[in-house]
Every structure is written in C-alpha cells, then in structure tokens.
Amino acid sequence: MSAVSANASVMDGIYRHQRHIYDLTRKYYLLGRNDLIAALKPPVGGSVLEIGCGTARNLLLAARHYPDARLFGIDISAEMLKSAEATIAKNRIGDRVTLAQGDATRFDADDLFAVGRFDRVFFSYSLSMIPGWEAALDQAIQAVAPGGELHVVDFGQQIALPGWFGRGLKAWLARFHVTPRSSLGDAMAAIAQQHHGELRFSTLYRDYARIGVIRLPRD
C-alpha cells in the first residue's frame, strides 16, 4: 500500500463514524476558523480552495460570507467527503461548490477542477493531521494565483496557558493522529521568502491557536 493510500485509510477509519458528530463536537475547540473565513475576502467572482475540507463546514460558511465566490474543496478521506457532499446538497450550493478526493501533498488542481490557481487557498486545522505537512504547504502555495493569498489556522503550542493544559491537549489530540506543528510560523516564513510574498502571522487565545497569511505579489 502506498503512503497516500495508507493515510487515506487511516483517515477513513477515524472518520467513518466520527463524521456524523464532527461539526457538533469540534466547534468547541477548533478556535479561529471563523476568523480565517472572515479574513479571506476574495475578489468578486474569485476562487477559493480549502485543502482538507472535511465536512464542508468551512466551505458552507465561506459561501454565506462571499456569495459571488467559486468554492472548491479537497480531502483525502472518502468518508469525510460523504458528509461534505451531504452538507452541500442540504444547503443547495452545489452550483457553487466543487469537491474532489485528493492528497494535500501532491494534488493537481487543474486535473481535479480545471482550475490551475486560486485567489485564496486555505488550511483549517488540517495541517496538524497531514504527515507531510510541509510538503502540503509547498503544494498549496503553487496553487495560489499571483496577488492571491494562502491562509492557515491550526493548533498552537499553548505557551501562555497552564502547562497541564497544553500537555493534556496534545495527549488527547494524539489519539486522533493530530500533532500541532510547532514550526508552522518558520515554515510559512520560509515559503513567503522563497516566493517573494508577505507573511502575517500571529497567535490566538494565548497561543491556543496560530493563524497566518501569505500574500503573493502580482506578476
């Protein structure tokens, strides 16, 4: 079994049943997702890609915030995509949202969506679940159009919170194959420099979460 297939199998195993309660339970601790959506602000008629779209909760919120945007989502888990498709059908936004199964570290957006680059690309609490997360960031920046932006929100290191809280959170997250990326800021800074982009990076809620944006220059 390839590494990609193995990771897809792991994710399907985790979410085969959890996907039914995912949004209900995650809203209490996936903090900063709404901040990311509010900051996207794609141009009118622009394109937005979420990498690791899960149940399509974020895509639905983005559709409500930006009614003129074209939305796309990929996820490696076929099980999660079942929930995403149901969300889109229930909310009747299938004419604006396109989904595909794909690996974050090596997807071909043009092949999946007939769209080469996007005005906005984002990760919302998915990098901490992607084994090759740095490769996923590299892949994502390639999908950002000139003048576009890459947005990321994920777990921080809880450095301003009690030590017992951070240790307990990390131990609990590990049960679900979630590993907060301590070097996320450094990785995004390196990518921004490589692509002559501008990075904004900050912590949220006493470093419970970290949020960053890379804006690429126009051609």
What residues contact 107, with CB distance under 8 A and at least 6 apart? 51, 74, 139
The alpha carbon of 32 is separated from its chain's Cα centroid by a whole number of angstroms, namely 12
pLDDT tens digit string along 185-200? 999 999 999 999 999 9
The reply to whether the predicted model has a pTM over 0.85 is yes
**Arithmetic mean of pLDDT, 104-115:** 95
Q: Please write the tens of the pLDDT for every residue from 8-60.
A: 454 544 444 444 344 444 544 688 999 999 999 999 999 999 999 999 999 99
Q: What tokens were used for 45?
A: 């008629």
How many C-alpha atoms does 107 have within 13 Å on its Cβ side?
Answer: 27
151 pLDDT band (50/70/90 cuts)? very high
Taking the C-alpha atoms of residue 100 and residue 217, their distance in angstroms, rounded to an integer, is: 28
- The dotted CATH code for 3-215 is 3.40.50.150
Residue 210 CA to residue 63 CA, distance in Å, equals 24
Between CA 39 and CA 47, with CA 41 as vertex, the angle to 5 degrees is 125
Helices and strands: H and E segment counts in the chain: 9, 7
Q: Which residues contact 170 (CB under 8 A, 6 or more apart)?
A: 179, 180
Q: How high is the mean pLDDT of the chain? A: 89
